[in-house]
Every structure is written in C-alpha cells, then in structure tokens.
Amino acid sequence: MANNKRQADFIASAEAQEIRKELLDMLENGKYTTESSYSTDTEQYPDSMIPFIEKHMRYLTTHPSVDPAHYLANLRLMTRVR
C-alpha cells in the first residue's frame, strides 16, 4: 500500500494506529454505515470490494495534507445511521 517513504512512515506511526483503532470502533458499532466499497484494484482485492478501514486508511495515506481528526469527525457525521 505504501508507495514512498512518507506513506510507509505514516502507516507505521502511532497516529495511524490510533486512527485504525477509531475506524475499527466505528466498524464494530452498529451506529455507523461501514460496508465495503467497490474497488478497481482486483490484484489486492480479488472480489473488487475494499474494506471500510482499508479504504479510509488508504485515503489518509495518499493525502498527507488532510487533518486526520477532521477527517474522522466528518466521516462519523456522514456514516451515522439516523
């Protein structure tokens, strides 16, 4: 998943581990819509479905200028079951 040193450093960081934990908490909580999404990367996802956590970790990895705290707050708002 990591294509360069910055991405690899992010994935290995304590911040990324905390983000992954928060995404897992959302996944396990029935108050959020956390279904897998379609992916064109059939080499990594043979069933063409990218898991919720991997999708958002990949986004944060490839967009280093995004503030993870704001991203997670917005994600909670957008995926909350009403």
Which percentage of the chain shows pLDDT scores above 90? Answer: 71
Domain locations in the chain as residue ranges: 5-79
Per-residue pLDDT of 20-59, as tens digits, reads 999 999 999 999 999 999 999 999 999 999 999 999 999 9
Rounded Cα distance between 32 and 54, Å, is: 16
Q: What is the residue-averaged pLDDT of the chain?
A: 90
Full-model pTM? 0.84
Q: What's the angle, vertex CA 10, arms to CA 9 and CA 12, rounded to 5? A: 65
Kind plus residue range of the DSSP H or E element containing 69 = helix 68-79
Q: For residue 69, what pLDDT is reported?
A: 94
Q: For residue 10, what pLDDT is reported?
A: 79
For tokens 């994600």, name the residue: 75
Look up residue 32 and give its DSSP letter.
B
